[in-house]
Structure 1
Amino acid sequence: MTDYDVLRVFCGANTGYGNELAVVRKGSTLPDPEERQALAAELGFSETVFVDDPERGVIDIYTPTVRLPFAGHPCVGTAWLLDVPELVTPAGVVGTRLDGEFTWIEARPEWAPPRTLRQYASAAEVEALPVPSPGEWIYAWAWEDEAAGRVRARAFRGRTDERGAGRSGGAGARTGGIEEDEATGAAALLLTARLGRALNITQGRGSQLLTAPQPEGWVEVGGRVVLER
């Protein structure tokens, strides 16, 4: 069996919650894309990262069903694990930095897959939402404190088109798909770009994502990372 680490990314203040991630540090042991896809499906995490060059930060990201050019929580988790100044993904070069208990990445909104960002009137309304019927990928959000930039969010996958059944924290998994993501860096990046301001997002059961717009259309996304095993 290929060796891999398991991380939780975007943990809460007590290091609970967060979205699980598998990282294969020696990606060279499994160079074939079909074999990588098969392992990602076997492991069943929302994403699995293969590190092709740990010094340069070259990585390859897979869900259980597809290869991704970029994804938020895999980049944050791998940046923490490798402690490198940047990650090289098929979408582009992702800047990284460590700042105390938080690990940050800098990426572009256009690298993120399309998401429906749906605003609700209150955090309580977001928390009470049932898992919707299969359909569009929805990032449901509401202001908890608009002046302070505090947001309550939940992410509903809707379709069974990207990740397959897996271990992402949430309400459970449909056959072939995840109903709800516990923490979604790419969606947080899109919301930050739309609102044009720094955000402190509580997503899922209690994960925390911090964001900040940067010059020339870049966005930073940061969070806590814990080594699970």
Structure 2
Amino acid sequence: MTDYDVLRVFCGPNGGHGNALGVVRDGSVLPGRSDRQALAAELGFSETVFVDDPERGAIDIYTPTLRLPFAGHPCVGTAWLLDVPELRTPAGVVGARLDGEFSWIEARAEWAPPRTLRRHATPAEVDALDVPPPGEWIYAWAWEDEAAGRIRARAFPGRGDGIDEDEATGAAAILLTEQLGRALNITQGKGSQILTAPQPHGWVEIGGRVFLERQALTAPRGRQA
């Protein structure tokens, strides 16, 4: 049995929605990559984080099928949980800060995995999209209010791992912010909120609300936690 926390990251203004994240605070209980990958698959979250050094902010991130050098919503959530000034990921050092109800990180767009950023004419078009077949990782978006930087978005990982749609995805929001070159207020999924802002020298800041959903133990093998 393994202790882990379940967070919701990028919650809406009323505290609802957000993308679920599993965090194993004591990564030493599962030091091997194969064991971590198996647990991430068992838990079934879009990402699960293993904390290898809470004081230094050293973390290791997994989807149900692969290890990631960096991911946005896991970093935002884990930075909030550990309350540290930075996180150490395989991609690089991620700056972190808390500002009122928002947890912020600062990262580089080149750390984000490739995404297909697909613009649509209206938010209604984005809302009407069906989940595409496995293949491309698609971030579908449209302007809600271009002057105000407000965007409607949905994310389709296309990995075939049971995560047909991500409720809130930081890495894709970082890529979109770099492409558009401006601060964004993104409503994604069923009502999650992501805030971003480009920073000097190729950095992008991204933030959102984080809530601790529950603390739990892994279920016996073969059962969902």
Length-normalised TM-score, structure 1: 0.92
Residues 99-136 of structure 1 show CA distances to partners (whole Å, capped at 9, x for unaligned) of 00000000000010111111111111111112223331
Is residue 173 of structure 2 the alignment partner of residue 188 of structure 1? Answer: yes
Cross-structure match for 1:211: 196
Q: Is 22-31 or 211-220 further displaced after alignment?
A: 22-31
Cross-structure match for 1:108: 108
1:3-22 correspondence runs (5 A): 3-22=3-22
What value does the CA root-mean-square deviation take over the aligned residues?
0.8
> What letter matches 1:93 in structure 2?
V
Q: For residues 79 and 159 of structure 1, what CA distance do their matches in structure 2 show?
A: 26
> What letter matches 2:46 in structure 1?
S
Cross-structure match for 1:52: 52
> What letter matches 1:20 in structure 2?
A
Cross-structure match for 1:225: 210
Q: Is 39-48 or 102-111 further displaced after alignment?
A: 39-48
For these two proteins, the number of residue pairs brought into alignment is: 214
List structure 1 segments (4+ residues) > 3 angstroms apart after TM superposition: none
Q: For residues 33 and 159 of structure 2, what CA distance do their matches in structure 1 show?
A: 24
Q: Is 66-75 or 32-41 further displaced after alignment?
A: 32-41
Q: For residues 51 and 187 of structure 1, what CA distance do their matches in structure 2 show?
A: 23
Unaligned runs of 5+ in 1: 166-177
1:77-226 correspondence runs (5 A): 77-160=77-160, 164-165=161-162, 178-226=163-211
Length-normalised TM-score, structure 2: 0.93
Query: SS at the partner of 1:42?
Result: helix
The Cα shift of 1:159 comes to 3.6
Q: For residues 130 and 40 of structure 2, what CA distance do their matches in structure 1 show?
A: 29
> What letter matches 1:184 in structure 2?
T
Q: Is 106-115 or 31-40 further displaced after alignment?
A: 31-40
The Cα shift of 1:64 comes to 1.2
> What letter matches 2:158 in structure 1?
G
Query: SS at the partner of 2:3?
Result: coil
Cross-structure match for 2:218: none
Is residue 34 of structure 2 the alignment partner of residue 34 of structure 1? Answer: yes
Unaligned runs of 5+ in 2: 215-225
Query: SS at the partner of 1:22?
Result: strand
Cross-structure match for 1:170: none
Identity of aligned residues (%): 82
Q: For residues 157 and 224 of structure 1, what CA distance do their matches in structure 2 show?
A: 22
Q: For residues 159 and 171 of structure 2, what CA distance do their matches in structure 1 show?
A: 17
